[in-house]
Structure 1
């Protein structure tokens, strides 16, 4: 058995995955600094490796104090992180955390910890029963990241409070029919370079999407032979970019079969509403649920917190009619 701990990482991602017998463990992203102090180091003092899916601050900042604590208070075998030549990049702080990524690389080098990249087709063998298969990014996305990284100027986050919407909600059917609204890979090259992978454990398959671009994931799944008739079956899917409407596509949904979706966020910041009701509605209507007639959205904070900030996601009538479950759960178990 393995446990997947969905850590409360504010607006970010952090997952601690550990076998029941503690023969192996690893982290997928580290959230913010407080995620390390308040969550990670209370659960463990060592991991075999860390995967940092990309260098957005809500995924990478917690790795800074963690690596600082090596070797006295923490132990890490290796770190997987895709970066361009950050040492010569424009060291602007902001959402993509260039300065922090540079600091992390320097500390890893000083402490002799291996930093490795992950691209489509790579495998990480964790144990006899467990492996990771990488489906994003491709070398094309990484090359584009390196070419355009220095031109990227990200504004500092705007923490203006969000007003809760009032009035009637757009219907589930109407929202599910809206056109895709993801950005092009060239304009969204940081997220397009995000690591996404399938976690295989015995008979279980879990899709971790990081903040990946939907077309990168869809294209690779199709190249593996999956399509509308032969769908990729997953026990769980961790939604990309905290359930943002800019990180999902009807094309990707059409080739996936799954009934359980993980949402990692405290509810979005600034004017972003994470997860988007539109994202959830598209999944409710279009995803193949297989034999499980309910679709379940798993949150790492109480559902009431999301709805207090973003407004009601579904009415009681919608939950019953469309067979939707929304639950708060901190740990998943895979047999």
Structure 2
């Protein structure tokens, strides 16, 4: 059995993925420091693999106390993270200036933990039943990211979401044009690690904060299209369901009825998930033969809507068979 725990990480990401038959554990991102102290430590004291998808605080910050606890209070087998020392780049790529990433990198060296980068096209064997097909970032995008590393700020630009104003109908939102940023202006997320987790005959897509064009470029290169969709059992949505992290092409190229979100609704001006993201999926995506489309949340939906406004109305749920489900643990046979 495959067990997935969507760990409460406030507006961040952290997932514990376990092969219960092979007794292998993968920790995907660590949220904030309190995510590790209050949640991860309560679930496990060791993992075979740790993947840190990218350098945003809400994914990487909790890894610092975790690695500080290594090896006496927490043990880690191998770390995958895209930092300059994990990947050889040109000498002129520049200095590193994000202090959390520097702290993490120095800790990995100090603790003598093995770590390496991940690139699109690579495969990682986690257990007898689990393998990861890396789909992001590309070699070119990672090199560009590392070259611009000294310009990266510790928090990303807030998404243009506000709970004020008129509620726009789902039908209108579903037909909106793409709102994602250019790759050059969003290079931190362009460098985010994303992968297809293959468990027996199941396919699960974990997107981190990946840029939608990187994902669709990879899938198209593999021969998938609106006429030949890639079928997934679950998709963990990119960037907590942000409208800047989805595209109409992505919606057209995948088939899936189950979507996982990691968010408490966000904070300040950076609120998520976007009602528009839910609308595009609910009205346009192929549901792989299922009647309902399911959105799984690791925080109470009422708490999320209190922060960022209406997600889906009761009438819309009934009309389009949309289910908002509070569920943070998944057992996959």
| TM-score between the two structures when normalised by the length of structure 2 | 0.94
Q: CA deviation at 1:89?
A: 2.9
1-structure distance, mates of 2:57, 2:152: 15
Show the counterpart of 1:10: 10
2-structure distance, mates of 1:45, 1:175: 44
Q: CA deviation at 1:273?
A: 2.1
Q: How does 1:132-211 map to 2 (within 5 A)?
A: 132-153=132-153, 164-165=163-164, 168-211=166-209
Q: Could you say what secondary structure the match of 2:310 adopts?
A: coil
2-structure distance, mates of 1:182, 1:147: 22
Show the counterpart of 1:51: 51
Contact kept? 2:12, 2:31, Cα under 8 Å: yes
Alpha-carbon spacing, 1:258–1:156, altered in 2? closer, same or farther (3 Å): closer
Alpha-carbon spacing, 1:83–1:23, altered in 2? closer, same or farther (3 Å): same
Q: CA deviation at 1:163?
A: 7.1
Over residues 19-57 of structure 1, what are the superposed CA-to-partner deviations in whole Å (9 max), with x where a residue is unaligned? 224610010000000000111111111000100000100
Show the counterpart of 2:129: 129
2-structure distance, mates of 1:23, 1:303: 32
Q: CA deviation at 1:83?
A: 1.7
Contact kept? 1:157, 1:270, Cα under 8 Å: no
Q: How does 1:5-44 map to 2 (within 5 A)?
A: 5-21=5-21, 23-44=23-44
Aligned length: 325
Q: Equivalent of 1:326, from 306, 311, 324?
A: 324
Q: CA deviation at 1:257?
A: 0.1
Q: Could you say what secondary structure the match of 2:271 adopts?
A: coil
Moved more, 35-44 or 264-273: 264-273
Show the counterpart of 1:221: 219
Over residues 153-184 of structure 1, what are the superposed CA-to-partner deviations in whole Å (9 max), with x where a residue is unaligned? 467989xxx97435x51111100111101001
Alpha-carbon spacing, 1:255–1:163, altered in 2? closer, same or farther (3 Å): closer
Alpha-carbon spacing, 1:90–1:134, altered in 2? closer, same or farther (3 Å): closer
Q: Could you say what secondary structure the match of 1:30 adopts?
A: coil
Show the counterpart of 1:233: 231
Contact kept? 1:84, 1:145, Cα under 8 Å: no
1-structure distance, mates of 2:7, 2:185: 30
Over residues 177-216 of structure 1, what are the superposed CA-to-partner deviations in whole Å (9 max), with x where a residue is unaligned? 1110100111110000000000011111110000000000
Alpha-carbon spacing, 1:133–1:51, altered in 2? closer, same or farther (3 Å): same
Contact kept? 2:257, 2:288, Cα under 8 Å: yes
Q: CA deviation at 1:85?
A: 5.7
Q: Could you say what secondary structure the match of 1:254 adopts?
A: helix
2-structure distance, mates of 1:156, 1:121: 27
Moved more, 149-158 or 77-86: 149-158
Q: CA deviation at 1:112?
A: 1.2
Show the counterpart of 1:94: none
Q: CA deviation at 1:127?
A: 1.7
Q: Could you say what secondary structure the match of 2:317 adopts?
A: helix
Contact kept? 1:132, 1:198, Cα under 8 Å: yes
Show the counterpart of 2:107: 107
Does residue 89 of the first structure (1) align with residue 88 of the second (2)? no
* 5+ long unaligned stretches in structure 2: 87-92
Moved more, 175-184 or 310-319: 310-319
Q: CA deviation at 1:294?
A: 0.5
* 5+ long unaligned stretches in structure 1: 92-97
Alpha-carbon spacing, 1:179–1:156, altered in 2? closer, same or farther (3 Å): closer
